[in-house]
Chains A and B, each alone.
Chain A
Amino acid sequence: MAMRQTPLTCSGHTRPVVDLAFSGITPYGYFLISACKDGKPMLRQGDTGDWIGTFLGHKGAVWGATLNKDATKAATAAADFTAKVWDAVSGDELMTLAHKHIVKTVDFTQDSNYLLTGGQDKLLRIYDLNKPEAEPKEISGHTSGIKKALWCSEDKQILSADDKTVRLWDHATMTEVKSLNFNMSVSSMEYIPEGEILVITYGRSIAFHSAVSLEPIKSFEAPATINSASLHPEKEFLVAGGEDFKLYKYDYNSGEELESYKGHFGPIHCVRFSPDGELYASGSEDGTLRLWQTVVGKTYGLWKCVLPEEDSGELAKPKIGFPETAEEDVMFSSISIFSFSPQHA
């Protein structure tokens, strides 16, 4: 029987979701943090989308958010000219790092000892989290506001993107190694340590470059302007979302478009695969965060496979599993509600 994707909608945010990041896999599972213009980044269980807590303290829109590998710390970048570091277990604020302009991006080193920040003042800053009072190291050279900055090559190098340029920096010498120029605005960047791959989106393009040399590997063209893209951990697929409200899934090797999904009611700002590759999360202008299955129909997290006896003899009647109930007449009545849903019209 043909299965159709059922995205899991994570409620809670009331304004556009502009950034998201997964932690690595920990004994407690893995976690997902979302940055939102409502100023309230949220932590969720990664595989179910269950809310764990809200990081309260920013006085402006939060533009960037990240978790360290073992999800013990979170960092956020905000329009209130601060970046903050949080205890991701208790939700407490650990550190406030004042900047001179809007902060757009944050990234921990793998050992969580340093935090990289970037923002509208065109400076990269590196904070030693073990010396909170010390001034950060600064790297200048960008000619417009920094959108994204990432540690790479085992924290020896830094990748950063401003409006139309991506730069590679050497951490030890604090100098630029190489740069890439694009004729359109760079919308997002993702770094994949395994294979040293850099994913860059601009216009309708999704480009893959070597993170070590910035040499191009391949690129895809999407039907609409793309705001974010993510490569599957096994390098089988990539997903991308953008201005047309749709999520696209491509085969990484052949470039074939495999699936596309409507579901969001506004442009998609960010999309990321989970660390185990089983799902991907998307954040949108519509104020929702949604989780999508990589393999539709597989039993995972809250998604449940249909056993053969559950659908025998029911070919003409869609079976919709409403949460918290298994009564047949409710399932029957739910069909009528479902048929009105505009996202499936």
Chain B
Amino acid sequence: MQSLPIIPVPVPVLRLPRGPDGFSRGFAPDGRRTILRPEVGEGRIQDPPESQEQRARAVLRERYLRSLLAMVGHPVSFTLHEGVHVTAQFGATDLDVANFYVSQLQTPIGVQAEALLRCSDIISYSFKL
């Protein structure tokens, strides 16, 4: 195993902020807000006991991350909004999978040597193993 350089440790986070669910406009259905639990912002938030759903989510998360690893260096076809299809060599993703770093992006108007694709613009993608 290659020796890793010593770098400052990023501050751990409990989870990522929850985003829109894509279908509703949000807000509480009854127009009420939830009073904060007293411990928020004060001391540690206690981890909930492991549940079956949590274990399933962990497995799915691991599979997805491993699929990203498998994708590195491979040509990937992306389906974007407005009927756009592009192909590029996948390089990396950032911590919260908000952007994909790609190279040799083949677009209708030419090849872009390096690019970032916003994940929110991607409908689906596929690649050959």
- The answer to whether A and B come from one shared complex is yes
Query: Closest chain B residue to A342 by CB distance?
Result: B101
Q: Give, as a whole number of angstroms, the nearest-CB distance from B88 to chain A.
A: 14
Q: B69 — which chain A residues lie within 8 A by C-beta?
A: 333, 336-337
List, in ascending order, chain B residues with CB within 8 A of A51's CB.
17-20, 26
Q: Does A96 contact B (CB under 8 A)?
A: no
Give the residues from 282 to 304 in chain A that come closer than 8 angstroms, CB to CB, to chain B: 287-288, 291, 293, 296-297, 299-304
Give CA–CA (A326, B48) in the complex, Å: 13
Best-surrounded residue of A54, A288, A317, A340 (most CB of chain B within 10 A)? A340
How many Å from the CB of B114 to the closest CB on chain A? 9
Contact A337:B26 (CB < 8 A) given known A28-B34, A324-B57: no
Minimum Cβ distance to chain B for residue A146 (Å): 30
Q: Which of A4-12, A75-83, A107-115, A225-233 contacts B (4 or more CB under 8 A)?
A: A4-12
For residue A56, CB closer than 8 A to chain B, the reply is: yes
The listed residue (B3, B16, B41, B45) touching A316 by CB distance below 8 A is B3
Contact A89 B58, beta carbon cutoff 8 Å: no
Q: Which of A3, A288, A337, A343 contacts B8 (CB 8 A)?
A: A3
Cα A329 to Cα B65 in complex, Å, equals 11
Separation of A306 and B9 alpha carbons in the complex (Å): 10
B6 an interface residue at 8 Å Cβ cutoff? yes
Q: How far is the CA of A318 from the CA of B14 in the complex (A)?
A: 17
Please give me the residue from chain B that is nearest to A297 by CB atom: B11
Using Cβ atoms and an 8 Å threshold, which residues of chain B touch A322? 61, 65
Q: How many A-B residue pairs have CB under 8 A?
A: 195
Q: Which residue of A lies closest to B50 (CB)?
A: A326
Q: How far is the CB of A304 from chain B (nearest CB, A)?
A: 5
Residues of B within 8 A of A340 (CB): 72, 91-93, 101
Encode contact with B along A166-191: 1 for CB under 8 Å, 0 otherwise: 00000000000000000000000000
Interface residue count on the B side (C-beta < 8 Å): 55
- Are A265 and B17 also in contact (CB < 8 A) when A2-B8, A336-B69 are? no
Specify which chain A residues have a CB less than 8 angstroms from the CB of B7 in the assembled complex: 4, 318
Q: Which of A42-50, A124-132, A156-164, A195-203 binds B? A: A42-50
Q: Is the CB of B10 within 8 A of A318?
A: yes
Q: In the complex the two chains form, what is the Cα distance from A35 to B40 in whole Å? A: 27
Task: Judge if B82 is at the interface, Cβ distance under 8 Å.
Answer: no
Contact B19 A11 (CB under 8 A): yes
Neighbour of B27 across the interface among A52, A302, A324, CB < 8 A = A52
Alpha-carbon gap, A42 to B20, bound state (A): 9
Within 8 A of B (CB), among A66-113: 87, 89-91
Query: Which residues of chain B from 80 to 109 have a CB within 8 Å of any chain A CB?
Result: 91-96, 98-99, 101
A29 on the B face (CB < 8 A): yes
B110 touches A (CB below 8 Å): no
The answer, yes or no, to whether B129 is at the interface (CB within 8 Å) is no
B6 touches A299 (CB 8 A): no
List CB contacts (< 8 Å) of B36-70 with chain A: 36, 40-41, 43-45, 54, 57-58, 61-62, 65-66, 68-69
Residue pair B8, A53 in contact (C-beta under 8 Å):
no
**Is the Cβ of B36 less than 8 Å from the Cβ of A28?**
yes
Restricting to A1-55, which residues have a CB under 8 Å from any CB of B? 1-6, 8-12, 14, 27-29, 42-44, 47-55
Measured CA separation A276–B91 after assembly (Å): 39
Contact: A47 with B40, CB < 8 Å?
Answer: yes
A151 to B99 Cα, complex, angstroms:
39
Is A311 in the interface zone, CB < 8 Å from B? Answer: yes
User: Could you write out 19 A-B pairs with CB less than 8 Å apart?
Assistant: A3-B9, A8-B17, A14-B121, A28-B34, A42-B20, A51-B26, A90-B31, A91-B27, A304-B11, A306-B12, A317-B4, A319-B9, A323-B16, A324-B58, A325-B58, A333-B65, A334-B65, A340-B93, A342-B94
- Which residues of B come within 8 Å of A, CB atoms? 3-4, 6-20, 25-28, 31-36, 40-41, 43-45, 54, 57-58, 61-62, 65-66, 68-69, 72, 91-96, 98-99, 101, 116, 118, 120-121
Chain A interface (Cβ < 8 Å from any Cβ of B): 1-6, 8-12, 14, 27-29, 42-44, 47-56, 87, 89-91, 265, 276, 278, 287-288, 291, 293, 296-297, 299-306, 311, 315-327, 329-330, 333-343
Known: A54-B26, A302-B13. 17 other contacts (CB 8 A): A10-B19, A11-B20, A28-B33, A42-B20, A47-B40, A51-B17, A51-B20, A53-B25, A90-B28, A293-B11, A299-B44, A304-B44, A319-B9, A330-B58, A337-B93, A341-B92, A342-B91
